[in-house]
Amino acid sequence: MFSFVINRVLSVYHLIYKNKGVYYLGFFSSVIFTYTYYSYIFKKKNSNDIKPVTEVLFFTDANANHNDYSRDCKCTQCGIKNLKKLIIYIDSAQVSLDICVYTISNTKLGEAVLRKYKEGIKIRIITDASMSFEIGSQIPLFMKNGIMVRSRESQFLMHHKFAIIDNKLLINGSFNWTEKATFGNWENITITSVPHHLVQRYCSHFETLWKLLY
């Protein structure tokens, strides 16, 4: 639209002054304007698509009595609040969910993983072999439902606590996916999509472990 107007204005100049230079100036400035305008629109559209996520959740002994899932507490930080946030991120998965966590016994997180699996999200779980069948472990339930789980008996504990959503959002920290970590420990979780190369290092290491444990 604007480039059209510029072109018209300069064409009129051309008619008046019969100046070829002005005509070419009009033509090239229209091309440059149109290119700049559309690359701006394109960049804006794409930057919205990949809006970075960076969040840290801290689990502390503050509001330690807030451990009722049905409770809608007003506090800014407690186990319930953090857990609900973590589940919102898990629920945001559109394609895949790769989990590499030492122990998974938190039933709410277990339910979230199972829910995503039933929605058709590709789930892969790497966990520590010695913890898989401990009381409360969600691993038997995952396996019973057909979720892919890999682990290996080893002197080396599979001690990681990271997960990757859609190969672009990293969840990582001290937090094991347990009730104790949620309501009884000082813990941290970083949730981030940036920097991209760092998240990709986790994706790549997950693939390495997945192949190794086959």
Instruction: Point out which residues bind Zn ion (CB under 5 A).
Output: 63, 66, 73, 75, 78
Cα–Cα nearest to 172, from 181, 183, 162, 164? 162
| CB of residue 109 to Zn ion, shortest distance in Å | 18
Closest to Zn ion by CB, 82 vs 172, is 82
**Strand ranges for 34-74 from DSSP E:** 54-59
17/69 with CB nearer Zn ion: 69
Q: Which is nearer to Zn ion, 66 or 122 (CB)?
A: 66
In the complex with Zn ion, the residue whose CB is nearer, 66 or 168, is 66
Output the smallest distance, CB 74 to Zn ion, in A. 7
Minimal distance in Å, beta carbon 75 to Zn ion?
4
Confirm if 191 and 53 have CB atoms less than 8 A apart. Answer: yes
156's tokens: 């080396």
The answer to whether 203 touches 167, Cβ cutoff 8 Å, is: yes
Our CB check for Zn ion shows the closer of 152 and 180 to be: 180
Contact 10, 26 (CB under 8 A): yes
Nearest-approach distance from CB 37 to Zn ion, in angstroms: 49
Among residues 170, 162, 167, which one has the least CA distance to residue 89? 170
- Non-local (6+) Cβ contacts of 115 within 8 A are 91
- CB 73, min distance to Zn ion, A: 3
Token pair of 127, please?
Answer: 């966990």
Sheet holding 187-192, edge to edge: 54-59, 187-192, 169-173, 161-165, 96-101, 122-126, 148-150
List residues with catalytic annotation. 159, 161, 166
Q: Would you state the structure tokens that stand for residue 48, as one six-digit string? A: 């919205």
Say how far apart CA 29 and CA 7 lie, in whole Å: 8
